[in-house]
Every structure is written in structure tokens, then in C-alpha cells.
Chains A and B, each alone.
Chain A
């Protein structure tokens, strides 16, 4: 067996899925002082004590098989960058995290780990509202120079990454699977774009590791740990974002939460957080910038054309008011023929005054 480096030692201790985090750390503490001339065979009694008889013997089999050497060689031959927890490249922000990842597998620009990061997370089943809100916040934040951290999942995560890329910003995706296992597979292109745009993919799981359900909430501690603040734009009560929120509070990160309608189950998680932590509510991306002492940035959004509205159009706008209104109600109150109603609504939508929220509901 060739000489051990810190990288290889960390790989060795985290190689077996059967060994939990605590035992991995005990092994690491045992071997670390002797890394320069390590002979594992000498530590057999101690390993037995830590792992128990059965697990220890399979650990030793693994050590003797040279599996770690092979993996290490493969990684060196790929574009994966290793950062172990003793490395000076290891982001200091992760020190706050309980159970900090022993090894980070990275692809892309690792300097981003120490940049001004903010996490944007939320539901996988995003609604139109969630999409709009996420877009609005991420646009501003990425333009203001923040690195957007998220989890490459469907929904809010994908929107956050995509909008950042569209605005020329930098983004980090933290995986709950091995660095070369893109989940969901539909986001393969997005992952490629992230790397090509100078972004970063990060995982604490060894290459080839499949995403397992329990790994997702654990992964969220890295998302929260890397960031100075966590923005939740849309979340159900059972959303994984609720874990991210929990970690953010434990690690002393700022929490920013966008409210939704109280009847909307997709915003129920957000509203719940706001209910207990009123300071977390943000209504405008500028709220976040101000919290960090950054000035407002120039908005690149589309300015609404100021057009003369007809009396009928104005009337419909009045009926809609500040609510979400169903088309049947608009029809009843305006007394318009269906054909005129459809025309007027589409016209207002094209002019940017109202939005169709789906299910025949309209809002301003």
C-alpha cells in the first residue's frame, strides 16, 4: 500500500456506507496523527473497539483490497477536485456546521466556496407565483454579486440556478448524490451549464453514490452552512426547505422568507415560518441587500408600458382589485358577453396589467 495523504485518508474513512459519520470521525482522529507513516494493521485492536468485530473485519478487507487506491487514482484522472476537512481550501463557514463533511468532491470553481453566498431553496412543485418570486429575487441577488447556492432539484432550485445563469451570475449546486450522479436526470444540461459558466458542483458523497432519501435533508446542512443567508421563496409544510431553515437557525444564518396567500398549501411552509419568526419576512429583494449593507442595484426588469386604458379595461381592473378573481366572477360583475370578456382579459394580460394564474383565476 502506497503512502497516505490526507485526501486518501479521508477517502479511506468515508469509503464504507455501513460506517456512520461518528465512527468515521473516530477513525479519522485515530489515524490523523500518524498520517505520514500510517500502517493500518497496527491499529487493529483499536479499530475493533470502534467498529465492532464484524464491521472491523470488513473494513480491514476493504483496506487490504486497495479499493481506495483505485478510486483515488480515478479521481485524480478526472476533473473532480478534492477538498478534505483539514485543507486550507476548506470553507471556514462549514466549521459552524455540526458534522461538517469530511470530504468535499467539487467540480468547477472552488473559490466560490468562500465567496458571498446566499442559498435559495423551496418546493419542488413550483407554482407560477413561486416561479415569479424566485426569479425576481434571484435576478437582483445575482446581479448584486451574490453566489446563489441551491440543490439542483426541480422547482425553486432549478429556477434559482437557471435565473442566475441567465443573469451572468455564479451559482453552486450541492448534490445529495455522488458528484457524477445528476439527480434528477432532467437537470443534466443545467449541471453542465453551471460548470461551464464558472459555477460549482459540490457533494460530500463519493462518486457513483446514488441519491437516497435520507441524504437530502443531510445535504441541506451544507447548503445552509455555505451561505450567509437562506432565502425560501415557496415551501409546503413538509418541504425539505424546512430542514434548511432549521439548520440556518442553528448555524446563525439569516433567514429570509417570502410570504404567500394563507390558503395556498404551496406557501404554507413559508407562512408558518413567518408566523413564528416575523423578522424573516422579505417583501422585496432590496430587503436582503439592505440587511447586508448593499445598495439597490439597477433593475433590468421590463418596464410596464403606460398605455391609455379603455373604460371597460379599467372596470375589469377595478373588479380584480387586489385579489385573485375567478373568471366567472369577473363575467358576472362586469356583465360582459363571454366573447368580449375573453378579448378584454387577454388584452390586459398582453399589456402586462393582469396575470392569468391558471385554473381561470386572474390577478393584477
Chain B
């Protein structure tokens, strides 16, 4: 008898329906799976056989053919064990459930008949919901991930027997309760908070501006000066993830399998700090299955690159296009997948290979050529995408000894949120939503400065030896400072402050 069940597959972050057809005929015992199934799926046979037997059902000694339609799409994760087993039971008349094909069924089986957790559930649920499906049977272990999608009925099962009994109508299951995103997202606590960072007045202000305008930042300073600490605090002053943003992030992490089991949905902005030996593929994504890379995992969050010049040049250059477009397309021989990658880049570096260049109490042991070569690893086009430069120096005993806590991240975040709101209102109807993304046309419209300010800029550029490239960067940052100030127009004060986040050009990249 032929029986059909339904499931879903993933290509990147988009799902497609898979029909699982099982036909059992008389003949020599065999079990074939066809339909471009990967090895992991072909091995399903053994798990299905074991699960059926050990759950007390009979595994038929006839010829079984299983087809995964559509036949031309590659299927590569072992998430069809459960629907295959259920179809097989129905084909062999052990499961009388005409409603079987009304459900989208997902789950991996263990040999003892339990259903274990699968990867990529959230993007599947979202795609399936969009395609009009309402009823789902998923592993119990995935429950949390599924509890934020409204208007669908999701049933969770822990074992094959539970699924069979549920479909037979012998076991009553309630669809899982929908949780309210806002209530969980409101009480997020970050491990790192600016209130524990003493001193660092300038760096903290620079990060506040960066958060308010979506600017990328580079911090330059000797080893042990707290660059990493500052970067780790940065997500805590970014505005909370909205539900939509949270879904986007969770989708990527669901596919990559980096989701926290207890969380289900990601409510904190991601913070990714790949080591400097990271390859280009690991950074932007790829491999045979076109997996998302670090920059996709940092989507809507922070990508922290410690010791920027130590990264391979190839890796750094591959960041340029995603930084500009906010997405990355990975093409492999059979597939081409676009992942979102709108992240804030926080980079840090030593001023020279030994770290003591410019220090007054430690001698720098690098030759000028070595320093030159070190700085040259950062190409102009890459540096052009980093609006804010700030020097971070060792914290003195004077600062560490302070007993009062510094301003908390929460109160900085309030200011950031206000500035972001101003920008969202101003850029309504355009493709951008913060100052860092300003296009040429919009830049001309929103970064107008008056005559005295222009003269000030000219004077400052001569004095600080700034390049023409720095001009738009300074004004974009000044625009953000004005927004933090709640000011309609960019004033002289805003420009003057913005200039102080551009002084390293002269010190490091002009020699």
C-alpha cells in the first residue's frame, strides 16, 4: 500500500516542502531511499528499522521504496526519520491515520524509538507557515524554538510511540502555548556592563556614538588596555532586538546549530569573536553545504575582530562587500544561498607588532619597516568602512581604584534608542535606517553644514592632516552626535567632537 507524509527541507534559510512516499511490495526484503538524499538520510533506514522494532512494531520483510519528492532538490539533514517511520507503519497497516498527510512532520529517531532534536527548525516553521501549513509534529526537545510563531498548531513528541498514538487519536496532545516575545526580551541581562568599566572616557563615548549611528569602530591600544572588555560590553548598549530581528538571528543560528537549547529564540544581540586564524570560508560562509559563516552568525549583532592586522588579508578583504550590502551570497556548485549579515564591526589592534609604539614608558622594539608592514595589512577600502577610530590606553591605578561605578549600560542604551528612533523617522521610506548606511544622495540631503562649519572643517583638516576620504566619515559621525543631542542640524560642536574620532589617520596611516 502506498502512503504519504509531509515534511520540510531547507535551502539556506528558505524551506521547501518534501513529500515522503512509501510503497511496500512483495519481493525480496530491501529498503531503498531515492530522491537526492545525502548519506545521513540514506542511513535513516537503520535508525527507522531499529526504532520501529524497539518500539514494539513490526518491520516488514518486503520490498520497501521510499521517495523524497521533489526528486531534484538535495536533502541533507537527517530530519526525516520520523515521517519515514510513520509512513512505513501506515503502509504496513500498523497505523490507521488518514490525517497523516495533514501534518508537517520533522524528527530524528534513535534506535530505541526516541525522537531527538533537529537543526534549523525555526526557518522551516516560518517557511511552512508562509506556504499555508498549519499543523506540525516536532521533537519535544525543539519545543522552545517553536513557541514564538503564532497561528500554527505545533505538537511535540518524545518518541515514535507517542507520535503513533497521537495520530491514531489514542493520545491527546495540546498544541504548544505561544510565548510573548516582549516579556522575555524585556528582562535581558548582559554579562558585561559598562558600569564596571572604569575610566576609558573617550572609548566609551566613541562606542555610544557607534551604537547610536550603527558605525563601525576600530580601537587602537597596547595589549592589556581593555579593548576586548570594551567590545564585550558593546552589545549591552545596542537597542534590544525586535521580534523580527530576533527571528532573523534565530533562523541563522538554527541552521548553523549554534542555538542555545534553553533559549529557543535569541533575544540578545549576538557577539562573535572569531580567532585571527579564521579562514575566509569560516568567516563569510561556505563549504559543501554553504553553511553560514561568522559574519552571518553576527547578523544584527557585533563582529569583534581582535588584533585586526593578524587576520589573513584574504579574510579581511572578503568582509568588504558584506559590510556594504548587509548580506552575503554564497555560491556552491549546486546551490546559491544568500544569508543576512548586517553586523557592527568592532575591530581592535595594537599600534605595532610588539604593542608599545607611542608608549612613553615601554620601549617599542619594532623596526619602522615592521610597523609599516603591520599597518599596511589593513587596506584603504577596508579602513574606509570604519567611521570611528579611538585610542585605548592602559587603565591606570588611579582609575582602577575608583569606588563609584561608572554609568550603566542601561542608561547609555536609553540615549542610543532615542537617537536610533530619530534616524528611523528621518529615513522613513528609504532603504536605510541609520547614519552609517547613508548613501551619497541622502548624505547630501541630511549632512548639510553652514559656512562657518565648513571653514572650521577646512582648518581642522589642514591642522590634523586629514585626507579627503575622512570628510564624509567625519560628517556622518557628526550627524549621529547631533542625533544623540536631539539637534535638527549639525552644529560646529558636533563637528569638533566628530573630528576627535579621526585623529589616528594622521598618527598611524600617514607615516
Given contacts A339-B497, A345-B500, contact A263 B205 (CB under 8 A): no
**Chain A hits for B204, CB < 8 A:** 338
Does B405 touch A at the CB level, under 8 Å? no
Does B484 touch A at the CB level, under 8 Å? yes
Does A186 touch B at the CB level, under 8 Å? yes
Partner of A360, one of B202, B357, B369: B202
Q: In the complex the two chains form, is A359's CB within 8 Å of B368's CB?
A: no
**Bound CA span A360–B208, Å:** 18
Which of B63-71, B285-293, B393-401 forms part of the interface with chain A?
Answer: B393-401
Q: In the complex the two chains form, is A329's CB within 8 Å of B369's CB?
A: no
Does A327 touch B at the CB level, under 8 Å? yes
Given contacts A261-B360, A266-B360, A356-B503, contact A339 B201 (CB under 8 A): no
Residue of B with least CB distance to A154: B368
**Bound CA span A264–B205, Å:** 29
**Bound CA span A236–B362, Å:** 12
Residue of B with least CB distance to A185: B369
Does B298 touch A at the CB level, under 8 Å? no
User: Interface residue tally of chain A, by bracket?
Assistant: 20 to 34
Q: In the complex the two chains form, is B393's CB within 8 Å of A360's CB?
A: yes
Q: In the complex the two chains form, is A339's CB within 8 Å of B391's CB?
A: no
Interface flags, B37-52, vs A, CB<8A=1, else 0: 0000000000000000
Does B499 touch A at the CB level, under 8 Å? yes
**Bound CA span A360–B501, Å:** 12
Given contacts A184-B368, A347-B496, contact A263 B398 (CB under 8 A): no
**Bound CA span A245–B485, Å:** 56
Residues of A167-223 at the interface with B, using a CB-CB cut-off of 8 Å, are 184, 186
Residues of A292-331 at the interface with B, using a CB-CB cut-off of 8 Å, are 326-329, 331
**Chain A hits for B503, CB < 8 A:** 356
Given contacts A186-B369, A338-B204, contact A264 B360 (CB under 8 A): yes
Residues of B347-371 at the interface with A, using a CB-CB cut-off of 8 Å, are 357-364, 368-369
Q: In the complex the two chains form, is A124's CB within 8 Å of B359's CB?
A: no
Does B459 touch A at the CB level, under 8 Å? yes
**Chain B hits for A16, CB < 8 A:** none
**Bound CA span A331–B203, Å:** 13
Given contacts A186-B369, A265-B363, contact A338 B398 (CB under 8 A): no
**Chain B hits for A343, CB < 8 A:** 493, 496-497, 500
Q: In the complex the two chains form, is A358's CB within 8 Å of B496's CB?
A: no
Q: In the complex the two chains form, is B507's CB within 8 Å of A328's CB?
A: no
Q: In the complex the two chains form, is B391's CB within 8 Å of A263's CB?
A: no
Q: In the complex the two chains form, is B398's CB within 8 Å of A329's CB?
A: yes
Does A44 touch B at the CB level, under 8 Å? no
Does B417 touch A at the CB level, under 8 Å? no
Partner of B199, one of A154, A266, A328: A328
Residue of B with least CB distance to A266: B360
**Chain A hits for B199, CB < 8 A:** 328
Does A67 touch B at the CB level, under 8 Å? no
Does B210 touch A at the CB level, under 8 Å? no
**Chain A hits for B362, CB < 8 A:** 265
Cβ distance B440 to chain A, nearest Cβ, rounded Å: 27
Q: In the complex the two chains form, is A186's CB within 8 Å of B372's CB?
A: yes
Interface flags, B445-483, vs A, CB<8A=1, else 0: 000000000001001100100000000000000000100
Interface flags, B299-329, vs A, CB<8A=1, else 0: 0000000000000000000000000000000
Does B200 touch A at the CB level, under 8 Å? yes
Residue of B with least CB distance to A324: B360
**Chain B hits for A264, CB < 8 A:** 360-361
Does A342 touch B at the CB level, under 8 Å? yes
**Bound CA span A261–B500, Å:** 26
Q: In the complex the two chains form, is B201's CB within 8 Å of A338's CB?
A: yes
Q: In the complex the two chains form, is A339's CB within 8 Å of B360's CB?
A: no
Cβ distance B341 to chain A, nearest Cβ, rounded Å: 31
**Chain A hits for B396, CB < 8 A:** 326, 328
Given contacts A124-B368, A263-B361, contact A350 B459 (CB under 8 A): yes
Q: In the complex the two chains form, is A359's CB within 8 Å of B201's CB?
A: no
Interface flags, A261-287, vs B, CB<8A=1, else 0: 101111000000000000000000000
Does A48 touch B at the CB level, under 8 Å? no
Given contacts A328-B398, A328-B399, contact A342 B360 (CB under 8 A): no
**Bound CA span A154–B371, Å:** 12
Given contacts A346-B500, A359-B393, contact A341 B368 (CB under 8 A): no
**Bound CA span A191–B398, Å:** 47
**Bound CA span A347–B460, Å:** 10
**Bound CA span A327–B395, Å:** 11
Given contacts A154-B368, A265-B363, contact A360 B391 (CB under 8 A): yes
**Bound CA span A349–B496, Å:** 10
Does A127 touch B at the CB level, under 8 Å? yes
Interface flags, A8-46, vs B, CB<8A=1, else 0: 000000000000000000000000000000000000000
Given contacts A339-B484, A350-B459, contact A327 B358 (CB under 8 A): no
**Chain A hits for B361, CB < 8 A:** 263-265
Given contacts A263-B360, A343-B496, contact A358 B205 (CB under 8 A): no
**Bound CA span A326–B202, Å:** 11
Cβ distance B74 to chain A, nearest Cβ, rounded Å: 54
**Bound CA span A284–B393, Å:** 32
Residue of A with least CB distance to B364: A125
**Bound CA span A339–B499, Å:** 12
Q: In the complex the two chains form, is A125's CB within 8 Å of B368's CB?
A: yes
Q: In the complex the two chains form, is A358's CB within 8 Å of B459's CB?
A: no
Residue of A with least CB distance to B395: A328
**Chain A hits for B481, CB < 8 A:** 339
Q: In the complex the two chains form, is A328's CB within 8 Å of B360's CB?
A: no
**Chain B hits for A328, CB < 8 A:** 199-201, 396, 398-399
Cβ distance A340 to chain B, nearest Cβ, rounded Å: 8
**Bound CA span A338–B407, Å:** 11
Give the A-binding residues of B (Cβ under 8 A): 199-202, 204-205, 208, 221, 357-364, 368-369, 372, 391, 393, 396, 398-399, 456, 459-460, 463, 481, 484-485, 493, 496-497, 499-500, 503, 507
21 contacts between A and B (CB under 8 A): A124-B368, A155-B368, A184-B368, A186-B368, A265-B360, A327-B202, A328-B199, A338-B201, A338-B202, A338-B205, A342-B500, A343-B500, A346-B497, A349-B463, A350-B496, A350-B499, A359-B359, A359-B391, A359-B393, A361-B360, A361-B393
Contacts A125-B368, A343-B496, A360-B393 known; 10 new A-B pairs at CB < 8 A: A127-B358, A127-B360, A264-B360, A326-B393, A339-B497, A343-B493, A343-B500, A346-B500, A360-B391, A361-B360
Give the B-binding residues of A (Cβ under 8 A): 124-125, 127, 154-155, 184, 186, 236, 261, 263-266, 326-329, 331, 338-339, 341-343, 345-347, 349-350, 356, 358-361
The 5 nearest A-B residue pairs measured at CB = A338-B205, A359-B393, A328-B199, A346-B500, A343-B497
